[in-house]
């Protein structure tokens, strides 16, 4: 059966790479992002790669009031939603966010609150459908607060906790909630940080791993998988040592 895929934040590097795998399976897409030009390019690319149909919707996701009609539009277009991937996000400059609350607030609003607002609408839909997959990109940054990025990490940590609860709520309805936790991935978001090295993955590698996690319905997917071990170490580092290290 042809899969129907709703992608929020569809112009994100990782979302685009994930979608390429669904396009090969001739999926039907409803793509949402704020930049209509970028959306047009993603649409063309997915159609070239085999997608059966691609509908786009340009929306600034800071406007929560549009969410219910957005999901209705996606449903009208797709008929049903098999898979949702939520990928939008912002990475604030930690030092600036410490000084200007407005920046911290935007991070919490986009990385945390907007995703909750969307997921609650989608959860209601999925409960009625009694099937489907809701995959959301959180981050390893949410696993333990660190001085270098705790404002971003707080939003992603809150998001991870929220998704854990949603996973349990939707399990009896046969709906898979997939919590995706990437480590360092090369993308426009991290362009200013990229130093290369073994801890960095390409968006292509991340997209393939996200696709596999969605297909398998994994509750939690570290991207790449070796981050599970790294974060186990980070989470279990004793406080006495943790306060002396900076990373």
Ligand X SMILES: NC(=O)c1ccc[n+]([C@@H]2O[C@H](COP(=O)([O-])OP(=O)(O)OC[C@H]3O[C@@H](n4cnc5c(N)ncnc54)[C@H](OP(=O)(O)O)[C@@H]3O)[C@@H](O)[C@H]2O)c1
- The footprint of ligand X (CB under 6 A) covers 9, 11-14, 33-35, 38, 60-62, 87-90, 110, 137, 139, 182, 184-185, 187-190
Residue number with CB closer to ligand X (34 or 129)? 34
Residue number with CB closer to ligand X (160 or 187)? 187
Q: Report which DSSP code applies to 111.
A: I
Q: Is the dihedral of CA 32, 37, 40, 45 positive or negative?
A: negative
Least distance CB 19 / ligand X (angstroms)? 12
**CA–CA separation, 58 vs 29, rounded Å?**
14
Residue number with CB closer to ligand X (55 or 190)? 190
Residue number with CB closer to ligand X (17 or 82)? 17
Q: Is the dihedral of CA 113, 114, 120, 123 positive or negative?
A: negative
Residue number with CB closer to ligand X (127 or 196)? 196
Residue closest to ligand X (Cβ): 89
Q: Is 33 exposed, middle or buried (0-12, 13-18, 19+ CB in 10 A)?
A: buried
**How big, in percent rounded to 5, are the helix, strand and coil portions of the chain?**
55, 15, 30
Least distance CB 30 / ligand X (angstroms)? 15
Least distance CB 170 / ligand X (angstroms)? 21
Least distance CB 214 / ligand X (angstroms)? 14
CA-closest candidate to residue 147, choices 97, 94, 189? 94
Residue number with CB closer to ligand X (131 or 225)? 225
CA-closest candidate to residue 214, choices 120, 125, 83? 83
CA-closest candidate to residue 138, choices 183, 204, 73? 183
Distances (CA, A) of 158 to 4, 93, 120, 146, 206: 29, 19, 15, 14, 22
Least distance CB 61 / ligand X (angstroms)? 3
Least distance CB 115 / ligand X (angstroms)? 8
- Supply φ then ψ for residue 81, to 5 degrees: -115, 110
């Amino acid at each position: 059966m042809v899969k129907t895929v709703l992608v929020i934040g569809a112009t994100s590097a990782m979302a685009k790479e994930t979608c390429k795998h669904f396009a090969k399976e001739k999926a039907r897409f409803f793509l949402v992002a704020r930049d209509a030009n970028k959306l047009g390019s993603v649409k063309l690319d997915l159609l070239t790669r085999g997608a059966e149909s691609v509908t786009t919707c340009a929306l600034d996701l800071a406007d929560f009031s549009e969410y219910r009609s957005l999901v209705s539009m996606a449903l009208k277009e797709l008929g049903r939603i098999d898979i949702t991937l939520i990928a939008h996000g912002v990475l604030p400059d930690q030092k600036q966010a410490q000084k200007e609350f407005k920046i911290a607030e935007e991070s919490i609003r986009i990385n945390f609150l907007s995703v909750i607002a969307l997921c609650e609408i989608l959860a209601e839909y999925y409960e009625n459908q009694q099937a489907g997959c809701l995959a959301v990109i959180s981050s390893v940054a949410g696993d333990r607060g660190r001085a270098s990025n705790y404002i971003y990490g707080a939003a992603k940590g809150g998001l991870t906790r929220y998704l854990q609860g949603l996973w349990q709520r939707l399990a009896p309805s046969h709906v898979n909630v997939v919590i995706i936790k990437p480590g360092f991935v090369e993308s426009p978001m991290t362009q200013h940080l990229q130093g290369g090295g073994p801890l960095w993955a390409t968006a292509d590698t991340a997209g393939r791993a996200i696709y596999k996690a969605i297909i398998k319905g994994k509750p939690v997917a570290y991207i790449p998988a070796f981050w599970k071990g790294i974060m186990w170490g980070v989470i279990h580092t004793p406080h006495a040592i943790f306060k002396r290290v900076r990373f």
